Amino acid sequence: MKIIMLGAPGAGKGTQAKMIAAKYGIPHVSTGDIFRANIKNGTELGKEAKKYMDQGLLVPDELTVKILLDRVAQADCANGYVLDGFPRTIPQAEVLDKALAELGDAIDIAIDVDVPDENIVKRMSGRRACLNCGATYHVEHIPPRKEGICDNCGQALVLRDDDKPETVLNRLAVYHSQTQPLIDYYTAKGILKTVDGTVDMEEVFAAIVELLENK
Ligand code: AP5
Ligand code: MG
Protein backbone atom coordinates (compact mmCIF):
# COMPACT_ATOMS: atom_id res chain seq x y z
CA MET A 1 0.00 0.00 0.00
CA LYS A 2 1.38 3.39 -1.02
CA ILE A 3 -0.10 6.16 1.06
CA ILE A 4 0.29 9.96 0.93
CA MET A 5 -0.47 12.11 3.97
CA LEU A 6 -1.68 15.61 3.12
CA GLY A 7 -2.48 18.44 5.50
CA ALA A 8 -1.31 21.79 6.81
CA PRO A 9 1.85 22.08 8.89
CA GLY A 10 0.98 20.72 12.32
CA ALA A 11 -2.15 18.90 11.16
CA GLY A 12 -0.76 15.65 12.55
CA LYS A 13 0.64 14.06 9.37
CA GLY A 14 3.77 12.84 11.15
CA THR A 15 1.87 11.58 14.20
CA GLN A 16 -0.53 9.56 12.05
CA ALA A 17 2.10 8.41 9.55
CA LYS A 18 4.14 6.84 12.37
CA MET A 19 1.05 5.02 13.66
CA ILE A 20 0.20 3.74 10.14
CA ALA A 21 3.80 2.61 9.63
CA ALA A 22 3.82 0.69 12.92
CA LYS A 23 0.45 -1.00 12.31
CA TYR A 24 1.08 -2.04 8.71
CA GLY A 25 4.84 -2.65 8.90
CA ILE A 26 5.73 -0.19 6.14
CA PRO A 27 8.33 2.61 6.28
CA HIS A 28 7.38 6.16 7.28
CA VAL A 29 9.10 8.44 4.78
CA SER A 30 9.19 12.11 5.81
CA THR A 31 11.11 14.59 3.67
CA GLY A 32 11.11 16.99 6.63
CA ASP A 33 12.76 14.33 8.85
CA ILE A 34 15.33 13.59 6.11
CA PHE A 35 16.19 17.30 5.86
CA ARG A 36 16.40 17.68 9.66
CA ALA A 37 18.72 14.65 9.92
CA ASN A 38 20.95 16.25 7.28
CA ILE A 39 20.96 19.59 9.13
CA LYS A 40 21.90 17.81 12.36
CA ASN A 41 24.75 15.98 10.60
CA GLY A 42 25.99 19.19 8.93
CA THR A 43 25.79 17.83 5.35
CA GLU A 44 25.78 20.08 2.26
CA LEU A 45 22.15 19.12 1.65
CA GLY A 46 21.31 20.09 5.23
CA LYS A 47 23.00 23.49 4.88
CA GLU A 48 21.07 24.20 1.68
CA ALA A 49 17.72 22.98 3.06
CA LYS A 50 18.08 24.98 6.29
CA LYS A 51 18.13 28.27 4.37
CA TYR A 52 14.57 27.62 3.22
CA MET A 53 13.19 25.73 6.20
CA ASP A 54 14.08 28.42 8.73
CA GLN A 55 11.99 30.91 6.76
CA GLY A 56 9.08 28.51 6.39
CA LEU A 57 9.68 28.25 2.64
CA LEU A 58 9.73 25.06 0.59
CA VAL A 59 13.06 23.50 -0.31
CA PRO A 60 13.36 23.64 -4.15
CA ASP A 61 11.74 20.76 -6.03
CA GLU A 62 15.03 19.71 -7.71
CA LEU A 63 16.61 18.89 -4.35
CA THR A 64 13.53 17.35 -2.77
CA VAL A 65 12.40 15.10 -5.61
CA LYS A 66 15.75 13.36 -5.98
CA ILE A 67 15.97 12.59 -2.28
CA LEU A 68 12.48 11.18 -2.20
CA LEU A 69 12.88 9.03 -5.32
CA ASP A 70 16.17 7.62 -3.96
CA ARG A 71 14.50 6.81 -0.66
CA VAL A 72 11.46 5.00 -2.10
CA ALA A 73 13.73 2.97 -4.39
CA GLN A 74 15.28 1.30 -1.34
CA ALA A 75 14.44 -2.33 -0.61
CA ASP A 76 12.35 -1.67 2.51
CA CYS A 77 9.86 0.34 0.40
CA ALA A 78 9.12 -2.57 -1.96
CA ASN A 79 5.84 -3.44 -0.20
CA GLY A 80 4.66 0.13 0.19
CA TYR A 81 5.24 3.20 2.33
CA VAL A 82 3.57 6.17 3.90
CA LEU A 83 4.76 9.53 2.58
CA ASP A 84 4.61 12.43 5.03
CA GLY A 85 5.37 15.91 3.69
CA PHE A 86 5.79 14.80 0.08
CA PRO A 87 4.51 15.78 -2.43
CA ARG A 88 4.09 19.42 -1.49
CA THR A 89 3.74 20.94 -4.95
CA ILE A 90 1.98 19.85 -8.14
CA PRO A 91 5.34 19.33 -9.95
CA GLN A 92 6.48 17.02 -7.12
CA ALA A 93 3.26 15.00 -7.44
CA GLU A 94 3.67 14.75 -11.21
CA VAL A 95 7.26 13.52 -10.93
CA LEU A 96 6.24 10.90 -8.36
CA ASP A 97 3.33 9.68 -10.50
CA LYS A 98 5.55 9.45 -13.55
CA ALA A 99 8.28 7.52 -11.69
CA LEU A 100 5.68 5.07 -10.34
CA ALA A 101 3.93 4.72 -13.71
CA GLU A 102 7.25 3.69 -15.27
CA LEU A 103 7.23 0.76 -12.81
CA GLY A 104 3.57 -0.01 -13.61
CA ASP A 105 2.67 1.26 -10.16
CA ALA A 106 0.62 4.09 -8.57
CA ILE A 107 -0.28 5.74 -5.27
CA ASP A 108 -3.25 3.95 -3.64
CA ILE A 109 -4.66 6.67 -1.40
CA ALA A 110 -4.04 10.29 -0.39
CA ILE A 111 -5.34 11.15 3.09
CA ASP A 112 -5.97 14.79 3.95
CA VAL A 113 -5.78 15.42 7.70
CA ASP A 114 -8.02 18.46 7.97
CA VAL A 115 -7.32 21.03 10.72
CA PRO A 116 -8.33 24.72 10.50
CA ASP A 117 -5.58 27.35 10.64
CA GLU A 118 -6.68 28.69 14.02
CA ASN A 119 -5.82 25.37 15.73
CA ILE A 120 -2.43 25.12 14.09
CA VAL A 121 -0.36 27.88 15.71
CA LYS A 122 -1.39 26.71 19.16
CA ARG A 123 -0.41 23.14 18.41
CA MET A 124 2.97 24.05 17.00
CA SER A 125 4.13 26.14 19.93
CA GLY A 126 3.48 23.13 22.20
CA ARG A 127 5.24 20.62 19.99
CA ARG A 128 8.56 19.18 21.15
CA ALA A 129 10.67 17.12 18.77
CA CYS A 130 13.50 14.65 19.19
CA LEU A 131 16.06 15.41 16.49
CA ASN A 132 17.77 12.08 17.22
CA CYS A 133 14.95 9.57 16.55
CA GLY A 134 12.20 11.75 15.04
CA ALA A 135 9.64 11.23 17.83
CA THR A 136 7.26 14.14 18.48
CA TYR A 137 5.39 15.15 21.60
CA HIS A 138 3.08 17.93 22.69
CA VAL A 139 3.53 19.57 26.07
CA GLU A 140 -0.22 19.29 26.80
CA HIS A 141 -1.66 16.59 24.53
CA ILE A 142 1.15 14.05 24.29
CA PRO A 143 3.74 14.83 27.00
CA PRO A 144 6.89 12.70 27.34
CA ARG A 145 7.19 10.65 30.57
CA LYS A 146 10.03 12.90 31.75
CA GLU A 147 9.80 16.58 30.82
CA GLY A 148 12.17 17.55 28.00
CA ILE A 149 13.46 13.99 27.44
CA CYS A 150 12.55 11.59 24.60
CA ASP A 151 10.77 8.41 25.81
CA ASN A 152 12.33 6.38 22.98
CA CYS A 153 15.98 7.33 23.06
CA GLY A 154 16.60 9.55 26.09
CA GLN A 155 17.85 12.56 24.09
CA ALA A 156 16.83 16.15 24.85
CA LEU A 157 13.63 17.41 23.18
CA VAL A 158 13.63 20.75 21.34
CA LEU A 159 11.22 23.31 19.89
CA ARG A 160 11.88 23.07 16.14
CA ASP A 161 13.45 26.26 14.70
CA ASP A 162 10.53 26.57 12.28
CA ASP A 163 7.85 26.22 15.01
CA LYS A 164 8.18 29.82 16.18
CA PRO A 165 4.81 31.57 15.66
CA GLU A 166 5.99 33.97 12.92
CA THR A 167 7.51 31.11 10.90
CA VAL A 168 4.40 28.97 11.39
CA LEU A 169 2.32 31.74 9.78
CA ASN A 170 4.66 31.71 6.76
CA ARG A 171 4.41 27.92 6.54
CA LEU A 172 0.62 28.16 6.57
CA ALA A 173 0.67 30.74 3.76
CA VAL A 174 3.02 28.54 1.72
CA TYR A 175 0.76 25.56 2.42
CA HIS A 176 -2.33 27.34 1.10
CA SER A 177 -0.65 28.61 -2.05
CA GLN A 178 1.55 25.66 -3.03
CA THR A 179 0.35 22.48 -1.31
CA GLN A 180 -3.43 22.78 -0.99
CA PRO A 181 -3.87 22.49 -4.81
CA LEU A 182 -2.85 18.84 -4.35
CA ILE A 183 -6.26 18.20 -2.81
CA ASP A 184 -7.87 18.89 -6.19
CA TYR A 185 -5.11 16.95 -7.94
CA TYR A 186 -5.79 13.74 -5.96
CA THR A 187 -9.56 14.30 -5.97
CA ALA A 188 -9.40 14.30 -9.77
CA LYS A 189 -7.55 10.97 -9.61
CA GLY A 190 -10.29 9.58 -7.35
CA ILE A 191 -7.95 8.66 -4.47
CA LEU A 192 -8.44 11.60 -2.05
CA LYS A 193 -9.98 10.88 1.37
CA THR A 194 -10.40 13.39 4.19
CA VAL A 195 -10.34 12.84 7.95
CA ASP A 196 -11.12 15.33 10.71
CA GLY A 197 -7.75 16.11 12.31
CA THR A 198 -9.13 18.18 15.19
CA VAL A 199 -10.21 15.21 17.31
CA ASP A 200 -8.03 13.10 19.62
CA MET A 201 -5.10 11.43 17.79
CA GLU A 202 -6.48 7.91 18.51
CA GLU A 203 -9.80 8.91 16.94
CA VAL A 204 -8.04 10.34 13.89
CA PHE A 205 -6.14 7.06 13.59
CA ALA A 206 -9.31 4.96 13.86
CA ALA A 207 -10.83 6.96 10.99
CA ILE A 208 -7.71 6.39 8.88
CA VAL A 209 -7.63 2.65 9.61
CA GLU A 210 -11.27 2.43 8.56
CA LEU A 211 -10.42 4.09 5.24
CA LEU A 212 -7.44 1.81 4.65
CA GLU A 213 -9.30 -1.39 5.54
CA ASN A 214 -12.23 -0.51 3.27
CA LYS A 215 -10.12 0.33 0.27
P1 AP5 B 1 7.76 18.98 7.64
O2 AP5 B 1 8.68 18.40 8.61
O3 AP5 B 1 7.03 18.09 6.70
O4 AP5 B 1 6.76 19.94 8.41
P5 AP5 B 1 5.23 20.34 8.13
O6 AP5 B 1 4.48 19.87 6.96
O7 AP5 B 1 5.26 21.80 8.28
O8 AP5 B 1 4.50 19.52 9.13
P9 AP5 B 1 4.87 19.30 10.60
O10 AP5 B 1 5.89 18.25 10.74
O11 AP5 B 1 5.13 20.63 11.24
O12 AP5 B 1 3.44 18.84 11.13
P13 AP5 B 1 2.75 17.42 11.08
O14 AP5 B 1 1.53 17.53 10.20
O15 AP5 B 1 3.71 16.32 10.82
O16 AP5 B 1 2.21 17.38 12.57
P17 AP5 B 1 2.69 16.54 13.85
O18 AP5 B 1 2.24 15.12 13.72
O19 AP5 B 1 4.11 16.79 14.19
O20 AP5 B 1 8.55 20.07 6.76
C21 AP5 B 1 9.37 21.06 7.36
C22 AP5 B 1 10.00 21.90 6.28
O23 AP5 B 1 10.84 21.08 5.43
C24 AP5 B 1 9.03 22.58 5.31
O25 AP5 B 1 8.56 23.82 5.81
C26 AP5 B 1 9.94 22.74 4.07
O27 AP5 B 1 10.81 23.84 4.23
C28 AP5 B 1 10.77 21.48 4.09
N29 AP5 B 1 10.16 20.39 3.29
C30 AP5 B 1 9.74 19.17 3.75
N31 AP5 B 1 9.22 18.43 2.75
C32 AP5 B 1 9.31 19.20 1.63
C33 AP5 B 1 8.91 18.99 0.27
N34 AP5 B 1 8.31 17.87 -0.14
N35 AP5 B 1 9.16 20.01 -0.61
C36 AP5 B 1 9.76 21.14 -0.23
N37 AP5 B 1 10.16 21.41 1.03
C38 AP5 B 1 9.93 20.44 1.96
O39 AP5 B 1 1.73 17.23 14.93
C40 AP5 B 1 1.91 18.59 15.31
C41 AP5 B 1 1.75 18.73 16.83
O42 AP5 B 1 0.40 18.46 17.19
C43 AP5 B 1 2.61 17.75 17.64
O44 AP5 B 1 3.02 18.36 18.83
C45 AP5 B 1 1.64 16.59 17.94
O46 AP5 B 1 2.02 15.91 19.10
C47 AP5 B 1 0.31 17.33 18.08
N48 AP5 B 1 -0.82 16.54 17.62
C49 AP5 B 1 -0.86 15.67 16.56
N50 AP5 B 1 -2.10 15.15 16.40
C51 AP5 B 1 -2.87 15.73 17.37
C52 AP5 B 1 -4.26 15.63 17.72
N53 AP5 B 1 -5.11 14.84 17.03
N54 AP5 B 1 -4.69 16.38 18.76
C55 AP5 B 1 -3.86 17.19 19.45
N56 AP5 B 1 -2.54 17.33 19.18
C57 AP5 B 1 -2.06 16.62 18.15
MG1 MG C 1 5.80 16.28 10.49
Each residue's pLDDT tens digit, 183-206: 999 999 999 999 999 999 999 999
User: What would the pLDDT profile of 130-147 be if each residue is shown by its tens digit?
Assistant: 988 989 999 998 999 999
pTM score, whole prediction = 0.94
Give the integer Cα–Cα distance in Å for 20 and 205: 8
Question: Which ligand ends up closest to the CA of 175?
Answer: 1
* C-alpha of residue 86 to centroid of ligand 2, in Å: 11
Start-end of H helices in the chain: 13-24, 31-40, 44-53, 61-72, 90-102, 117-126, 165-174, 181-188, 201-213
58 lines ligand 1 (CB under 6 A): yes
pLDDT at 166 over 90: no
Q: What pLDDT is recorded for position 12?
A: 95
Question: Which ligand ends up closest to the CA of 61?
Answer: 1
User: Pairing relation of β-strands 81-84 and 109-114?
Assistant: unpaired
Of all residues in the chain, what percent carry a pLDDT higher than 90?
A: 91
15 lines ligand 1 (CB under 6 A): yes
* C-alpha of residue 104 to centroid of ligand 1, in Å: 30
User: Which domains can be identified in the chain, with CATH numbers?
Assistant: 2-115+178-213 (3.40.50.300)
150 lines ligand 1 (CB under 6 A): no
